[in-house]
Chains A and B, each alone.
Chain A
Amino acid sequence: MIARFRRAYGSSPLHLIGHVVAFAAFVWAFSQILGGGYVVNYVAWFVGAAVLHDVVLVPIYSLIDRVTRREGRRAWGSSFGAAINYVRAPAVISAILLLVYSPVILGFSAKNYRDDTGHPLNGYVRNWLLITVGMFLVSGLLFGGRRIRGRLLSDEARLVSERSPARD
């Protein structure tokens, strides 16, 4: 009996029960929201968030990463491979800050901000740029430091190997 169910359904009866319960909860929650009207607007936001992420955001950042790596290798050769994550980290963090704080950085909140606080919305673009420049500087310094350390270490290793005759 269970085996036949499994074959037809593709999983255990518990799997089906769990999904039925969860979908009942979804129906309850959605009907509470949609009771307020604006059905199309709400569904567009709910589904749109997932679609925008999956078919716009992911391809865009994947493409930027790929192009950056290709052009970096073209310009600086294979040594760019060691530098890529010193570019990626500040770029990713800066992009996420922009994504999250775009309403204040790009000024979408300007009117409501003034009504709420009594002050104009400004300074956020500057702060975001400062943070971004700061992160790239720190990242560059870390990379430079790593390169210098690596070179010193390899010099030392060469000196050591020159002094002590190689054993065959």
Chain B
Amino acid sequence: MAPPTEPTRHRSTPATPEGHGLPRPPSADEIKALLPDLARTESGIPLPFPEDPPPGPFRPSFWRSPLRGTWLTAFLGSMLLVLVVVSFLTGLISHAAYKPDLGHNFTFPKKDDLPPLIDLPQGAPAWLYAFTQGLHITIGLITVPVILAKLWSVIPKLFAWPPFRSPAQLLERLSVLALVGGGLFELTTGILDIQVWYPWHFSFVTAHYYGGWVFICALALHFFVKLPTVRRAYREQGVLKPLRANLAETVPEPYEPGGLAPASPAAPTISRRGLLAMVGGASAALLVANFGESIGGPLRRISLLAPRGRVFGTGPNAFQINKTAQFVGVTKAAGNPDYALELVGAGGHTTHLSRAQLLSMAQHTRELPIACVEGWSTTQHWTGVRLSDLKRLSGIDGDAVLHVFSLQTDGPFRQATYAPGQVDDDRSLLALSVNGADLSLDHGYPARTILPNVPGVHNTKWIGSMKFYPA
């Protein structure tokens, strides 16, 4: 608060404590005149901040870009809406693909969770999860420039003065915190996850999944609150018409108090379409930099920044590894020549099968991808025993849920649980070899599961035990 000036004090009366001419105490009206006017609600209730904005970004004259305005924000918002909805739906698909309602597939407590909402049909082509998850990651990445531009376009609103004038505005601003915080949180955690860097303590899966719910609920609310503004912008300025203006034709939108257009616009240095082209260019760069790892083959190499964009040699086992045998500490157990798979069936009946016995069973070869939740995938030819054959061998003819356990002793994905439909799928294998060669230790020797449309980590490696439970 600015110190009161001294126009009322008489020059000849020094304001000393012992002075005779102490200035008379100011009247209530005088105090009121010295204090800044308080902002008031529409119904006249005073708010705890002055009507006049403090200097700097709180003043409308601070923001000068002539591009800012409702059209630009509406246009960027419309693009974001499409991108975020695709991310959210593909995220739900991925959540359901883990079959979180079975066994310990959900890595966090199931209490109060919604049931899986979008389950891929069991008969779907085997590349479908690789596609939806590749889309989830790719769309997330190309959203980054759009969200940065969108936030740039509305940054004056952060410093709007007064901070709120009604309960409605206060609620709206809190919901915008959930929207912006939620969006940036989802992008940040997702982007760090695909690069396997976890500089936090909370569970990524929990935080990213429920963070997605926060974001989508905040976005739905924002959509309905802003829809009239967006419609007005498109009606008054055309949906695409501002894109036709080159730099010379770029003019600011008329200023409205509390709006996005600047009060004192600077001369434009770029057209609106130029800005959008830059955003699109950045999105395209991110797309090209990453998408090859989702498709694989020769395209993998062109994605220069994709975490799984590198090719390490040739040979039947020279494809992408997730967690080496050495790292998880199974080298000894998996290399044990006396290895025998424990097979538990109806009534707890247990048999043990050596690798030679498994190889003597009917072998089937299937072309299936490992499709990682991180968005990369790699499609190989796997050979082994069908899960349905092992189920029958265990003594169960009807539907059964299957729990598989790895020889690894630690880690959330040392086990997985498959639904009856997945067990009976003709493509689901306990693979013993890949591309005509024995599985390498890093790819799950002596045996691993491989199923269509399950997240990569649920294709459990180094299988030690399989337990079928009649469903």
Contacts and interface: CB of A to CB of B under 8 A. Distances in A.
Interface stretch (B83-91, B144-152, B427-435): B144-152
A26 B307 CA distance: 33
A156 to B, nearest CB: 21
A93 interface: yes
Given A101-B305, A112-B197, A84 B286 contact: no
Interface string A94-131: 00110111011100110011011111000110011011
Interface residues of B, number: 81
Interface residues of A, number: 65
B181 A47 contact: yes
Given A10-B169, A36-B108, A108 B214 contact: no
A118 B322 CA distance: 8
A27 to B, nearest CB: 10
B286 A96 contact: yes
B155 interface: yes
Interface string A41-80: 1100111011001100010000000000100000000000
B4 interface: no
B168 A42 contact: no
Main secondary structure of the interface of B (DSSP, over half): helix
Contact of A41 (B43, B145, B202): B202
Contact of B217 (A29, A36, A47, A81): A29
A50 B166 CA distance: 24
A163 interface: no
Given A58-B152, A128-B305, 19 more contacts: A22-B217, A29-B217, A33-B207, A42-B207, A50-B177, A54-B180, A85-B278, A88-B278, A93-B278, A93-B282, A100-B141, A104-B195, A109-B196, A115-B323, A117-B322, A118-B321, A118-B442, A123-B310, A131-B289
30 contacts: A9-B167, A10-B169, A15-B225, A16-B168, A23-B171, A30-B214, A32-B113, A33-B206, A33-B207, A33-B211, A37-B202, A38-B201, A49-B184, A50-B181, A54-B180, A69-B269, A85-B270, A88-B278, A96-B148, A97-B285, A101-B305, A108-B197, A109-B197, A115-B323, A116-B324, A117-B321, A118-B326, A127-B304, A127-B305, A130-B304
